[in-house]
Amino acid sequence: AQTVTQSQPEMSVQEAETVTLSCTYDTSESDYYLFWYKQPPSRQMILVIRQEAYKQQNATENRFSVNFQKAAKSFSLKISDSQLGDAAMYFCAYRSRFNSGGSNYKLTFGKGTLLTVNP
Amino acid sequence: NAGVTQTPKFRILKIGQSMTLQCTQDMNHNYMYWYRQDPGMGLKLIYYSVGAGITDKGEVPNGYNVSRSTTEDFPLRLELAAPSQTSVYFCASTKDRGGTDTQYFGPGTRLTVL
């Protein structure tokens, strides 16, 4: 079974600064997807960024980018030019690419990192 | 296009009561999921469905039941509510498992069992 670990329960950053959230995962699979989801106080789960394991290039979405280290099983999220609206709980998640006993249907989540943005 | 909608947003139940959490998506997605989120934790999969008439258990199915009679709707049933079921429940959907693999989430239902 896959596991996802977020070792930082809380992080804070000054507005306009850069912050990196850490995520490690454990899997025996070679092909999978990794995600970062944002959960603001409204509790809506919002997809921030997605990475395919077979792609070596790190995904980027505007101010959000990832550092995907497949051998180290590490998937960190970098937020540049932090904004007050970035304050939220951030979840790292894993999904198998191929079906093995229904495993590719589910997302496996970490416990989350609460990001505070200070003005 | 409303995406994934859930009702109710909040509910308080007494121990032993039953209720149904509603989930509807208007994106013609084949795959639908129910997750629960306990305080300070990530989401855990309760049940999922790969199409109308087909459902299967996830990680934490005990105490819940589901049905999928249409592509759009995927209700979650709690038959005998217990305090351990106090949680926030999220419904999600995807077009298929080999597509974008992005799960679209509903706004959640906060359930308290007293």
What residue ranges do the domains of chain A occupy?
3-118
Query: What is residue B99's predicted lDDT score, i.e. its pLDDT?
Result: 46
- The list of chain B residues with pLDDT below 50 reads 99
**Hey, are the CB atoms on A95 and B101 less than 8 Å from each other?**
yes
Q: Which of B41, B59, B88 sits opposite A43 (nearest CB)?
A: B88
Question: In angstroms, rounded to a whole number, what is the distance separating the alpha carbons of residues B50 and A6?
Answer: 30
**Hey, are the CB atoms on A112 and B102 less than 8 Å from each other?**
no
Query: What is residue A29's predicted lDDT score, i.e. its pLDDT?
Result: 87
Domain A3-118 matching CATH 1.10.760.10: the answer reads no
Query: What is residue B97's predicted lDDT score, i.e. its pLDDT?
Result: 60
Question: 3-class SS at A108?
Answer: strand
Quote the minimal CA–CA distance from A118 to chain B in Å: 22
Residues of B in contact with A105 (CB under 8 A): 31, 33, 45, 48, 50, 56, 97
Amino acid at B77: R
Give one word for A20, left, alpha or beta, with left for phi > 0 and alpha for psi -120 to 50.
beta
Query: What is residue A84's predicted lDDT score, i.e. its pLDDT?
Result: 96
Quote the minimal CA–CA distance from B82 to chain A in Å: 23
**Hey, are the CB atoms on A50 and B101 less than 8 Å from each other?**
yes
One digit per residue, the tens of pLDDT, for chain A of length 119 reads 789 999 999 999 999 999 999 999 999 988 889 999 999 887 788 889 999 998 889 999 999 999 999 999 999 999 999 999 999 999 999 988 776 655 556 788 999 999 999 99
Task: Tell me which DSSP letter residue A58 carries.
Answer: P
SS3 for B41-98 is CCEEEEEEEEECCEEEECCCCCCEEECCCCCCECCEEECCCCHHHCEEEEEEEECCCC
Query: What is residue B111's predicted lDDT score, i.e. its pLDDT?
Result: 96
What would be the CATH architecture of the domain defined by B1-6+29-97?
Answer: Sandwich (2.60)
Q: Is the Cβ–Cβ distance between A115 and A11 less than 8 Å?
A: yes
